[in-house]
Amino acid sequence: MNSSFNKLLTFKTPLIALMIVIFSINIFLIERVDALSDSRQLVLDAWTLVNEGFYDPEKFDEIQWKRIRQKTLQKQIETSEEAYSAIEDMLRPLDDPYTRVLRPKDYELLKSSNFGSEINGVGLQLGENDEKKVKVISTLGGSPAEEAGIVSGDLIETVDGISAKKLGLASTASKLRGESGTKVLVEVSSESGEIREVDLERRSVDLRPVRTKRLRDDSHTIGYLRITQFSESVPKKVEEALQELKEKEVEGLILDLRNNSGGLVSSGIAVADSLLSEKPIVETKDRNGIKDAIISQKETSFDGPMVTLVNKGTASASEILAGSLQDNERSILMGEQTYGKGLIQSLKSLGEDSGVAITVASYLTPKGNNIQGQGMTPDKLLDLPDASDFGSTDDKWLRNAELFLESLLEKEEVSVRTIDLNNEEIKSLNG
């Protein structure tokens, strides 16, 4: 008995020692996983947010979305920067440049542009073309990019010597931003193929999203309302601007959406609501294929005749507004074909100071037109060169809109006079 017990004890001693070693290793591994959990959690959170919100879930099966998550988590992810890079790699197969991770600086900048009135950078609104090249949607008024002559349709070839196509849309936009006073070297190619280098100095750009003035001639008073982007404050500012114009007794309105690359879709819809009475504004289609029509309220802030100016820098939320006005025959559209961004993004927090933008839906105009990749065709195309200073005395597009609106007002007067005359004739016949 004692002999057997001693043999068993002899056998168990190394076994216990081995278990202690294994247990110690496990403790070490657990501590190491805990140390990495914050960075890995960013990746897991990003995957979950996209998995729950992305507008095209069929894409997940096509790219083996769950397998991508597993492969991503096998990478070395010890820092936040490694987590952001891993998320970028993870999102790339979705083939959607608008679904992207936003590092702290970019996240804060995007929030400030949506909710604030100033932004630091060079003033470029960017998208991608069919060849995955970074394309200029529009430039902000008074920005370094506008002053350097960069226009809608130009391609960004390199930023500080690095290929923009290799960087991708999000990283290109990120490299263009920075502290006021710093410089960035940008290689730009025009639609004609001309390539040039531009040295841009970043600075604070006053967005001034809503601008207005009164246009007068001998016979009519017309209001001019320019919206440069759709931030949170815009609907209220538009209401105030329309009220001011009504107090000045304007008879018609020119709405200028040129180079308005979008912003908050909710703000664009709110502005449409103030100009339409019980009419469909937009129809959104979510990941389940459910179409949701948004209808305007009965009350309007302005119900007079309108002309809306658009160009190839008119995109996203501004296309929703323009499309609702055109399809409901509320306003004539003048200018050129718009950009064609018919996808809606939602901004989600990721950790304490970063975020992820996710394409959550597509939209159709009230008549069911899909704008994505196509844009909208104005009722009246203008083949004149677009102005370098929108709303100025040299703005020929604005002058065309003004003349057309005056003709509409003249027709209204003729119609009213004809009705009055007919009433007088009726009275004389009955007298």
Q: What is the CA 284 to chain-centroid distance, rounded?
A: 15
Helix (H) / strand (E) element for 265: namely helix 265-275
Catalytic residue among 279, 318, 341, 362: 341
Q: Tell me the sheet residues that pair with 361.
A: 344
Catalytic residue among 143, 267, 296, 316: 316
What phi and psi, each to the nearest 5 degrees, are found at residue 358? -130, 130
Catalytic residue among 154, 327, 386, 395: 327
- DSSP secondary structure, 188-238, as one string: EE-TT--EEEEEEE-EEEE---EEEEEEE-SS-EEEEEEE--B-TTHHHHH
Question: How far apart are alpha carbons 242 and 196 in whole angstroms?
Answer: 42
The one-letter amino acid code at 306 reads: M
The one-letter amino acid code at 423 reads: N
The beta strand positions in 228-335, using DSSP E, are: 252-256, 280-285, 291-295, 306-310, 332-335
Question: How far apart are alpha carbons 392 and 21 in whole angstroms?
Answer: 79
**316 annotated active-site:** yes
Q: What is the CA 23 to chain-centroid distance, rounded?
A: 53
Other C-beta atoms closer than 10 Å to the C-beta of 131 total: 8
* Residues that are catalytic: 316, 327, 341
